[in-house]
Structure 1
Amino acid sequence: MNTTEDEQTAPAELKAPPFLVIVVPCYNEQEVLPQSSAVLCNKVESLIAAHQIADKSCIMFVDDGSKDRTWSIITELHHQNAAIFHGVKLAHNKGHQNALLAGMTHAYDVGADAIVSLDADLQDDPNAIDTMIEDYRQGAEIVYGVRDNRDSDTAFKRGTAVMFYKVMTALGTETIPNHADYRLMSRKALTALLQYREENLFLRGIVPSLGFPSDKAYYKRGVRQAGESKYPLHKMVSFAVEGITSFSTKPLQIITGLGIGSIIIGIGMLIYTIISVHQGNAVAGWGSVMCSLWFLGGVILLALAVIGEYIAKIYTEVKHRPRFIIETTI
């Protein structure tokens, strides 16, 4: 069928303004919720007024078993503006990734056309949502919020972040550098995501593997508005280990290589010792023996630790326990 030049260059038809749900996981966020709720409410209302999202679009706070007044504040917000503010309360603290998934699942169940996930601390610039909606309406099924720089981070945090993304790439896991969990997902992409049933969630690796058309919305990350960070160093390390072991078996292959290498070195040392004895040379003494023992002992313990990490994941997966339990919703 022949087409004119105007037809070939005509832009694709925009999608209809979506029923958008902004999913915000919260854990002990009583200090920042009054500020973040006001900012997000203004953002939703401005997008509705501009006819970029449907009138019934809303914000869904997910209380991840908080021990402070987080749920009370969410309830108060709902009473003040029931059209905008909704809430999901988990029965126990299940971690950021599971809380995020709980909110996305509930948003899917209420018929959302698209969801945007972001944290309650306002470090992720809500203005990037405008770009995400534009990209979605032009055909993107996933839009990643990506930091345009890391100037606000310490040198240590910048270095470890760069190293983490390089390690994940080397291990064969597809990730988006400088992207956390600030993203837009269409209903189609969310349908695919909810088919993943594993207990050990690493959404930053799962979402890029879905393969849908995607785009990026760049923004400048700010400072936390109030309260304390819920990701100290030990949690960041644990999160990195979770990501690596959830998406790659290469650490096990590395252990195999180390084992083969140790055997080769051991055979070489045995040959060297036999030759030295026959030549009447003194055999290496206590120091070299102890160094060898400590080295091999460390390799063995490290290997056991890595294998144990995988076995622990198998243990949690085979029990098929629910990833989260919703206590109540408003």
Structure 2
Amino acid sequence: MPPRICFILPCYEEEKALSHTLPRIKEKYTSLVEKKLISPESRILFVDDGSQDNTWKILSAASEKDPIILALKLSRNYGHQNALLAGITEAYHLDFDATITMDADLQDDMDALDEFIKKYLEGYQVVYGVRSDRSTDSFFKRETALAFYNMMRFFQVPLVYNHADYRLLGRPAVEALLAFPERNLFLRGIIPLLGFPSTEVFYKRQERIAGHTKYPLKKMIAFALNGITSFSIQPIRLITFGGFVVSLMSIGILFYALFQKMAGKTVSGWTSVIFSLWFLGGLVLLSLGVIGEYIGRIYLEVKSRPRFFIEQKKGKNFHEKTSSH
């Protein structure tokens, strides 16, 4: 019997894109059912991450009209990673065999879904959607993405290169994922830690069909910092190494100062003193900032606040009620 798949699409102010996305995903759903790759009991789950536009109105109407459409409304904007987790959690509670997460802006190539499911049927519990090229990206986007992956590799964060959040997770992998209690989610790093049989499907990312990107530079930097501090203590070790190097340098400066003193040229050291003050001051502030990031993460984890609240559920499979996780 074909597997029951839940397709999960997080949305944040995607009213312009949904008029294209809804018919396209339903068309693909029908195609997969006709090919007997998925069960007719599979569903498409949209997660509204606190949108302020008409996104929820559109999703709510679609779920009432079509039984294959499910919709979740989060009580506010919790961020892309938490929206994904909300969808995955609900899919798990509804006993789906596997989940496939993808963007709602049609940039993730839906034609790759056939291969995703075939890999799952071969026994893989994790299937990563990996971009085959970045020709559709701007120069800035391409270079910052390259810098992101290189930085993650340097800090030894487990990542699949050129993989975002287009992936399939079998039920055992979902169950293992939900055992991770952390509040600072970085799913791209957590999934490789699960250890289940995995493979990759390559696809070409499309142009955004409508609307604008929800990941400007500021959010990209915050996302990268979250990934590094969640999975690596390398920055702390770099601070230790930097302190060791500066200590060695200070010994050299001490001998230099003594030599200048004995030679009667102490006034000439003004440049080196100013440089040392600025260098050490900057190093101290940077070190405090890095340590503060880690302490802030610990602070948020210790409080163990709910990662999201669900305000509404729409669809045949749901009993509407407010819940938290």
TM-score by length of 1: 0.93
* 1:282, distance to aligned residue in structure 2 (A): 4.2
CA distance in 2, matches of 1:317, 1:283: 52
Offset, 1:170:
2.1
Q: Give the aligned partner of residue 276 of structure 1.
A: 260
Unaligned runs of 5+ in 2: 315-325
Alpha-carbon distance in structure 2 between the residues aligned to 1:267 and 1:138: 62
1:113 aligns with 2:92: no
For the pair 1:45 / 2:30, whether they are aligned, the reply is yes
By how many angstroms is 1:260 displaced?
1.5
The 5 Å alignment of 1:149-164 reads 149-164=133-148
**Partner Cα distance (2:168, 2:268) in 1:** 63
* CA deviation string 1:169-223 (max 9, x = no partner): 2222211111000000000110100000100000000001111111111111111
Moved more, 55-64 or 165-174: 165-174
Name the structure 1 match of 2:15.
Answer: 30
In the TM superposition, structure 1's runs of 4+ consecutive aligned residues that sit over 3 Å from their partners are 279-285
1:293 aligns with 2:314: no
Alignment partners' CA distance in 2, 1:73 and 1:160: 34
Alignment partner, residue 178 of structure 1: 162
Q: How does 1:59-138 map to 2 (within 5 A)?
A: 59-82=44-67, 84-138=68-122
Residue of structure 2 in register with 1:166 after alignment: 150
Q: Which amino acid in 1 is paired with 2:214?
A: K
Please say if residues 277 and 283 of structure 1, whose CA atoms lie closer than 8 Å, have aligned partners that are also in contact.
Answer: no
TM-score, normalised with respect to structure 2: 0.94
Q: What is the root-mean-square deviation in Å for CA atoms of aligned residues? A: 1.1
Q: Identity rate of aligned residues, in percent?
A: 49
Q: Deviations over 1:108-146 (max 9, x none)?
A: 000010100001100110111110000000111111001
CA distance in structure 1 between the partners assigned to 2:13 and 2:34 by the alignment: 32
Q: Secondary structure at the match of 1:175?
A: coil
* Cα distance in 2 for residues equivalent to 1:122 and 1:31: 12
**2:108 touches 2:166 (CA, 8 Å); kept in 1?**
yes
Corresponding residue number in structure 1 for 2:290: 306
Task: Tell me, in whole angstroms, the C-alpha distance in 1 between the residues paired with 2:190 and 2:91.
Answer: 19
Counterpart-to-counterpart distance in 2, 1:119 and 1:153: 16
CA distance in 1, matches of 2:101, 2:160: 16
The number of aligned residues is 314
